[in-house]
Amino acid sequence: MSTLVAAGGGAFGWALLSSTAGNVGELAFDRPLRIPPLLEGGSFDLKLQAGVSVLRPGVKTGTWGVNGPHLGPTLRVRRGETVAARVLNTLPEATSVHWHGMRLPAVMDGGPHQMIAPGATWKPTWKIDQPAATLWYHPHLHGTTARHVYQGLAGLFLIDDEHTAKLPHEYGVDDIPLIIQDATFDGDGSLTLSNFGMSMLPGMDLMGFLGKDVLVNGTLGPAFTVTTTRVRLRLLNASVGRVYHIGFADDREFALVATDSGLVGEPVRLRRALLASGERAEIVVDFRPGDQVVLRSFTAELGGGTALDRFTGGADVFDLMKFTAPGPLAESVAVPARLADVPAPLVPPNTRTRTFRFSSTSINGKGMDLARIDVVVPAGAVEIWELTNPSTNHSFHIHEVSFRILDVNGRPPAAYEAGRKDTVYVPPEGHVRLLVEFGDHTDPKAPYMYHCHMLVHEDKGMMGQFVIVEPGQESHVNTRLNLKDSHGAH
């Protein structure tokens, strides 16, 4: 990156010096944290709609939401339940709803092949068969995902199982969803995806978008009143491209209890956790009467060196929200020493390895083609996927699967990313190996996606498709799809 600075001269140097953002000390924290409504039981009526929201004090903004003007309800089910959703699209354009992190048949996945036309209703149904986890749902229509998520189409999808009661789990009291999204507002209050950081440098479309403000549950600078001695925070990075380095302003420790796809085996004591776009983490925080503490995103080493990290948000510091604990506080369940059975990843003998090389618009030199199947996988397979990233920062997500990180640049994963996951941060000049576990839902004509979750990169074509088939049938799959067979709602 230093060569680029030298070659770019004054314009590049000025941009480098001007490329940081932050808000420390600027927020009043005088608005209560909005807790999304909770829907339970597996039968969900979801209406995609346009609306008007007050995301900043005194300013009205046009937004999109699910069952409301902005964001969506939290959906909660137990393992073993059957989901029956009815998704009505009242928006002026087509979209889709993808169940991010869910293990389910491809025709129910909500990717770009399950498009929901304006006025149409999509009715997916499937059985929940995976451990307790914090998942989420959002649009996944090719070419418009970034804009649709940014406008507000996102919500959490929680799965409970026999381990749920081991941790704080009273929704909205000691079990709190935190949907984190950055945003930039035009003078009239409308949301804009124009990138303030890199627009002056053609060809330097690094993260795709970095916003000037950061919202939590659709609120700028909210506050939450703590009433229990421990609080479980379900953190979701629902931003278009920004990476957050989450911790508390007083540097207090917290216990990481779950990653994307479920509980960790033992709690991990941390002061910081890195979350790239699409990643989730569950943390449990201790509070005492009288506490007042700010949740903050700190500077981060993103792997690109000082200059590149600065351009991609690594030098930015944002206050996110404030917690106050006036007391007295009700005693909350303690975090157990053992949370779940999560054995160390074991690579079976003769495991197949697949390689994926990134650019900002393609994988293995190919842009997205909805009619092309890139990978055919036998049901129940365990594979190693090697990710090589000679370009800028990426966040890689695989639909349907659960994976474990074997190593990053030859080193074991950090403690906070050693659990079950479905999304992983891949640094510049990085090499990441994943042990990927595929499910048993077979369909040679209905693909799942793998892609960068920096959503502008995804929309520009950094995405591929795979199908899962009965073992032994891999060579019989037609790798060109008839798009008329897509299972959308029209």
**What mean pLDDT value characterizes the chain?**
93
Res. 258 pLDDT band, cuts 50 70 90? very high
Which DSSP state fits 279?
Answer: -
Is residue 20 scored above 90 in pLDDT? no
The token duo for 39 is: 């829907």
Asked if pLDDT for residue 403 goes beyond 50, the answer is: yes
Question: If you average pLDDT over residues 147-169, what whole number do you get?
Answer: 96
Place of tokens 């640094």: 427
**pLDDT average, residue stretch 24-50:** 97
- pLDDT for residue 408: 97
Q: What does the pLDDT look like over 388-398, one tens digit per residue?
A: 999 889 999 99
Note whether 21 and 210 are within 8 A (CB).
yes
Percent of the chain at pLDDT exceeding 90: 87
| pLDDT given for residue 208 in this prediction | 80
Average pLDDT over residues 257-284: 97
Residue 20 corresponds to which tokens in the numbers above? 């940081």
Strand partners, 64: 50
> What is the C-alpha to C-alpha distance for residues 109 and 98, in angstroms, rounded to an integer?
6
The full length of the chain comes to 490
Q: Residue 330: beta bridge partners?
A: 228
Name residue, tokens 């996988």: 377
Burial class (CB in 10 A: 0-12, 13-18, 19+), 292: middle
| Local structure of 15: helix, strand or coil | helix
pLDDT at 374: 98
Q: How much is the pTM?
A: 0.95
Greater model confidence, 415 or 235? 235
The secondary structure element, H or E, covering residue 281 is strand 280-286
pLDDT tens digits, one per residue of 179-207:
999 999 999 999 999 764 443 343 445 77
Could you tell me the pLDDT band of residue 22, with boundaries at 50, 70 and 90? very high
Distance CA 423, CA 260 (A): 7
Band (8; pLDDT cuts 50, 70, 90): very low
Q: Does residue 26 register a pLDDT over 70?
A: yes
Whether the CB-CB separation of 74 and 177 falls below 8 Å is answered with yes
483: three-class secondary structure by DSSP: helix
Residue 89: predicted pLDDT: 98
pLDDT at 23 over 60: yes
User: Which distant-in-sequence residues (6+ apart) come within 8 Å of 369 by Cβ?
Assistant: none
